[in-house]
Chain A
Amino acid sequence: GENVEQHPSTLSVQEGDSAVIKCTYSDSASNYFPWYKQELGKRPQLIIDIRSNVGEKKDQRIAVTLNKTAKHFSLHITETQPEDSAVYFCAAQGSELSFGAGTTVTVRA
C-alpha cells in the first residue's frame, strides 16, 4: 500500500514568517494529494489539494507543489498568523487515502 512520510514533525515559526512542510510517497500510481489541518481536539479539515496533472496550486497564503518524478509534495504557508497553529497532515491516494504522521506548527507572536 501507499506509504507517506512527512517532515518535520514539529515546526516553530515567528509570526509573519513562512512555514514549509514536505512529504514523500511511495506509490507512483497515486494521483491525489490533499492537505488537512487539525486543531487541538477537533476534526481534520481540508485546506488545499492538488491532483497529479498539476504541478502547483495556490490559495491566498497557502500553496502546494507536486513533483511526481521525485514523488514528493510540499505545503507552503506564507505570512503566518497565530491561527495557523495546528497539526497539518499530508495525504496521498493510492488505492486509498493514506496520511502522513503530521506536523505540529506553532506560530510565535
Chain B
Amino acid sequence: GAGVSQTPSNKVTEKGKYVELRCDPISGHTALYWYRQSLGQGPEFLIYFQGTGAADDSGLPNDRFFAVRPEGSVSTLKIQRTERGDSAVYLCASSLRGQGYDTGELFFGEGSRLTVL
C-alpha cells in the first residue's frame, strides 16, 4: 500500500485478555517502530526492528509485551494479560533507516486504539 497500515483501528477488550495489533509498513522500509501514545502525551518508544530482528526493545514496559516481524515486513505487537493501564493508541511507523544511521523521517500509521475495560 501507499502508507503504513494498522489493524484493528479500534480494539476493546477485557482486563486479563490477550490482544494482537498488526502493522504493515511501507514496502521497502527496513526499519519498523512501535510507539504508544496516551491522551495528551507524546509517542512513547516501545521497540525498533531492523529487518527481522529487534534492534532495540528497551521501551517495552514489561514481559507482557512482545513483538515480532518474522519476514522483515509485517509486524505484530502482542500484549498478554492486558491491564487497564495498557489503554492507549499504539502507533506503528516505518522508515528507510540503515544500521547505524539516524531514523530519518518516520511514516506513521493511523494507530490502533486499545481500550481495556
A residues apposed to B, CB below 8 Å: 1, 4, 6, 31-32, 34, 36, 42-46, 49, 51, 89, 91, 93, 95-102
Contacts and interface: CB of A to CB of B under 8 A. Distances in A.
B109 A43 contact: yes
B90 interface: no
A36, A44, A98, A101: most-surrounded residue (chain B CB, <10 A)? A44
Interface stretch (B17-25, B38-46, B64-72, B75-83): B38-46
Given A1-B58, A31-B102, A93-B103, A43 B110 contact: yes
B102 A93 contact: yes
Given A32-B103, A43-B108, A98 B40 contact: no
Contacts of B114: none
Interface in B13-70: 33, 35, 40-45, 48, 56, 58-59
Given A93-B103, A96-B58, 7 more contacts: A6-B42, A43-B109, A89-B42, A93-B102, A97-B45, A97-B103, A99-B42
B96 interface: no
B102 A42 contact: no
The main secondary structure of chain A at its interface with chain B is strand
A50 B10 CA distance: 34
28 contacts: A6-B42, A31-B102, A32-B102, A32-B103, A43-B109, A43-B110, A44-B43, A44-B106, A44-B108, A46-B105, A89-B43, A91-B42, A95-B56, A95-B58, A96-B45, A96-B56, A96-B58, A96-B103, A97-B33, A97-B103, A98-B45, A99-B44, A99-B45, A100-B42, A101-B40, A101-B42, A102-B40, A102-B41
A43 B42 contact: no
Interface in B73-117: 91, 102-103, 105-106, 108-111
B59 A96 contact: yes
A99 B91 CA distance: 13
B103 A99 contact: no
